[in-house]
A = this chain, B = another copy of it.
């Protein structure tokens, strides 16, 4: 299949750029004590997860039970659900998955520990948890130190497999790298490693200390005592992370078609916010100067030309850099893997 045969709107990944990101990140972790466990939520493509594992990743991180289920079905042997789950239904599903693969889930409350332990006993299946520590994002998580220790102890006492601790410093991913920012990342890593030491002093072995993202991997991934990094966005790379100073290469675009040229300085494309997320800002147009996406309606994209006339005709295809890959991938069922003008592979996005 050739590029021009793709029906629009369509999500595309530049394979050269994506592979360069894959190898760049794998290269960093080669020889580091910490390993990479990439986040699945960003691309939701089992085929890409398997490529990441082939390149050295020790398993996958994910955000939901549903994602864990998809990963188990595709043969990923080790999965961290870096998120809280609640309710007997969900925990029963978690127990089912735990029979098939090494699946772990984050906990940040006595409530969750008791509920998970209860299902583990009922179903007679050992269940693995990590204590989620709030490292400043102020989303989920218990405070580091004593509260983390208390929860870990409780998990052990109730018969859960306490695998370690995690803490996601999302608040630092959005700040461009600098000595000061990187110092804050080390403070986060240290608080996790200190919590690890606290647990181990109390006789609780800690196998996993998980943290880090695409913006901070090179700091937390090199920090003594951190065992794994959750970075995900590096693979497809979007212009939002790029703005934050990431060294990876943009690879993700939305292919659209001009469907209307109502005025010399305006065009309308067949791609709106149902295909391209604007939750974090608007996309840039790829490879054409003086052409700007001005607005996304539900089903339309409004394009403006600096130079009236602009040379863009109805039927012409146009590529937009995906600004926020997480929310955009979530709008699609497939992603076309493109090299030059060829579609080499179609990646299924699973939901």
Contact = CB atoms under 8 A, between A and B. Distances in A.
Interface of A: 5, 7-8, 41, 63-64, 83-87, 89-90, 108-109, 111-112, 115, 134, 138-142, 170, 257-262, 266, 268, 270, 273-274, 277-279, 297-300, 302, 313-315, 326-327, 330-331, 333, 351
Given A140-B262, A313-B111, A327 B273 contact: yes
Nearest to A140: B260
Given A109-B314, A297-B139, A260 B84 contact: yes
Contact of A63 (B87, B112, B298): B298
A123 to B, nearest CB: 18
Give the interface centre of A108, A140, A277 by most chain B CB atoms within 10 Å: A140
Given A139-B300, A277-B279, A298-B327, 17 more contacts: A41-B298, A63-B298, A84-B259, A86-B257, A86-B315, A109-B261, A111-B313, A111-B315, A115-B315, A138-B266, A139-B260, A139-B268, A140-B260, A140-B262, A141-B260, A170-B297, A298-B326
Contacts of A138: 262, 266
B268 A314 contact: no
A111 B298 contact: no
A185 to B, nearest CB: 19
A259 B83 contact: yes
Nearest to A132: B260
B262 A134 contact: yes
Contacts of A326: 274, 298
A140 B259 CA distance: 9
A325 to B, nearest CB: 10
A211 to B, nearest CB: 17
